[in-house]
């Protein structure tokens, strides 16, 4: 089962806006990697995606990169009991990486710090402005 075509088209536009909006001010602990714009952007990206598409849930998991396990966040659409993963920051991981475990989170229990909320809000403002062009 795939994400419905209209949502897939919207996510393509959203991916472009996100990529144009990411920088050290929106990444986790201000980290960046040359040539890897998605690095450190998974959590604020998952929050922005859910804000713009409330039908998509936030997923928290562990990704095996070949060198170790890394925490990761992305989104999922649950359709008829099937979880369809939507990960707009997956490209931050090397080829061959794989999800080892995950859980769908309840948006009311995320427990974000003020700094995290500020990063998410900044990314949302930038993305909305980009989409309005």
Give the model confidence (pLDDT) of 86-130 as tens digits. 999 999 999 999 999 999 998 888 989 999 999 999 999 999 999
* Structural domain that includes position 53: 5-132
In the chain, at which residue ranges do the beta strands (DSSP E only) sit? 57-64, 69-79, 82-86, 98-105
Q: What is the pTM of this model?
A: 0.94
pLDDT at 46: 98
- Interatomic CA distance for residues 31 and 39, integer angstroms: 8
Question: Rounded mean pLDDT of 38-52?
Answer: 97
User: Looking at residues 11-35, what average pLDDT do you find?
Assistant: 96
How many independent structural domains does the chain possess? 1
The answer to whether the beta carbons of residues 17 and 127 sit under 8 Å apart is yes
Residues in Cβ contact with 121 at an 8 Å cutoff, skipping those fewer than 6 apart: none
Tell me what percent of the residues of the chain surpass a pLDDT of 70: 100
């Amino acid at each position: 089962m795939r994400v419905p075509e209209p949502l897939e088209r919207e996510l393509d536009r959203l991916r472009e806006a996100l990529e144009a909006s990411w920088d050290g001010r929106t990444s986790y602990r201000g980290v960046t990697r040359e040539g890897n714009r998605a690095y450190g952007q998974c959590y604020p990206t998952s929050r922005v995606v859910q804000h713009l598409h409330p039908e998509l849930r936030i997923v928290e998991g562990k990704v095996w990169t070949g060198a170790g396990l890394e925490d990761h966040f992305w989104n999922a659409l649950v359709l008829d009991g099937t979880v369809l993963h939507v990960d707009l920051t997956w490209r931050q991981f090397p080829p061959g990486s794989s999800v080892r475990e995950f859980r769908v989170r309840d948006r009311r229990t995320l427990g974000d710090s003020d700094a995290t909320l500020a990063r998410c809000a900044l990314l949302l403002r930038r993305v909305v402005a980009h989409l309005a062009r």
